[in-house]
């Protein structure tokens, strides 16, 4: 009789599908040498150092991840897609799509300074340190003289540039639409 119970339990376990583990937000799987590997999203620190993830296409079976970011957090390679559109008299930024990652840009009071900082860093070695310092100081303090909570790869990159920690020419910044 114990053998019969074991056979029944084996048949039941074979019939029940194994549930897939749900991936954390932003993670995705890729096949590397016939093995599926889980990939984490690139951090803001890594983006500041010039890293960029190659994302799987939409039809890869990976879910779409929708990020809500400020301009300081928008990945460098997507700045060329940033634009302001108008519907009626209301300005908005359309969703920026990058394969399985979608980005909604949160408007902040610092957007103009972030754009100026991006443009200055895009100049590479001819960037003006005084302008970068001035823009960083404006970004760190709100209009009401309180400390700002704006953060992202752009701020990290500007601080590294001022410390001469990193040569800025390795950052492929695009100035076409900004």
CB 132 within 8 A of CB 120: yes
C-alpha distances in angstroms, 144 versus 72, 140, 147?
Answer: 20, 12, 9
Q: Is the pLDDT of residue 175 over 70?
A: no
- Give the helix ranges, DSSP H, for the chain: 2-15, 44-48, 111-122, 129-140, 153-162
The string of pLDDT tens digits covering residues 70-93 is 999 999 999 999 999 999 999 899
Least confident of 50-54, 65-69, 132-136, 166-170: 166-170
22: confidence class by pLDDT, cuts 50, 70, 90: confident
d(CA 175, CA 24): 34
Sequence spans of domains, the chain: 43-170
Name residue 92's beta-bridge partners.
Answer: 85
* pTM for this model (two decimals): 0.77
Out of 20-34, 91-105, 138-152, which region has the weakest mean confidence (pLDDT)? 138-152
Rounded to an integer, what distance in angstroms lies between the CA atom of residue 110 and that of residue 55?
Answer: 29
| Spatial CA neighbour of 171 closest among 136, 123, 103, 130 | 123
Check whether 147 has a pLDDT greater than 80.
no
Looking at 16-152, list the stretches that DSSP marks H as alpha helix, in order from N- to C-terminal side: 44-48, 111-122, 129-140
Of the candidates 121, 72, 65, which has an alpha carbon nearest to the alpha carbon of residue 95? 65
The tokens describing 84, both together, are 């302001």
């Amino acid at each position: 009789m114990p053998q019969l119970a074991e056979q029944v339990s084996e048949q039941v376990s074979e019939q029940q599908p194994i549930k897939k583990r749900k991936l954390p937000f932003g993670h995705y799987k890729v096949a590397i040498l016939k093995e599926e590997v889980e990939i984490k999203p690139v951090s803001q620190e890594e983006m500041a150092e010039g890293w960029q993830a190659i994302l799987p296409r939409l039809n890869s079976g990976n879910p779409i991840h929708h990020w809500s970011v400020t301009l300081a957090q928008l990945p460098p390679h997507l700045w060329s897609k940033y634009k302001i559109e108008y519907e009626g008299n209301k300005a908005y930024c359309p969703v920026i799509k990058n394969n399985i990652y979608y980005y909604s840009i949160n408007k902040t009071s610092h957007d103009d300074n972030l754009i100026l900082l991006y443009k200055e860093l895009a100049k590479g070695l001819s960037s003006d340190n005084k302008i970068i310092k001035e823009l960083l100081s404006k970004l760190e303090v709100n209009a009401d003289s309180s400390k700002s909570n704006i953060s992202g790869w752009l701020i990290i990159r500007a601080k590294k540039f001022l410390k001469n920690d990193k040569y800025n020419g390795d950052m492929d910044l695009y100035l076409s639409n900004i």
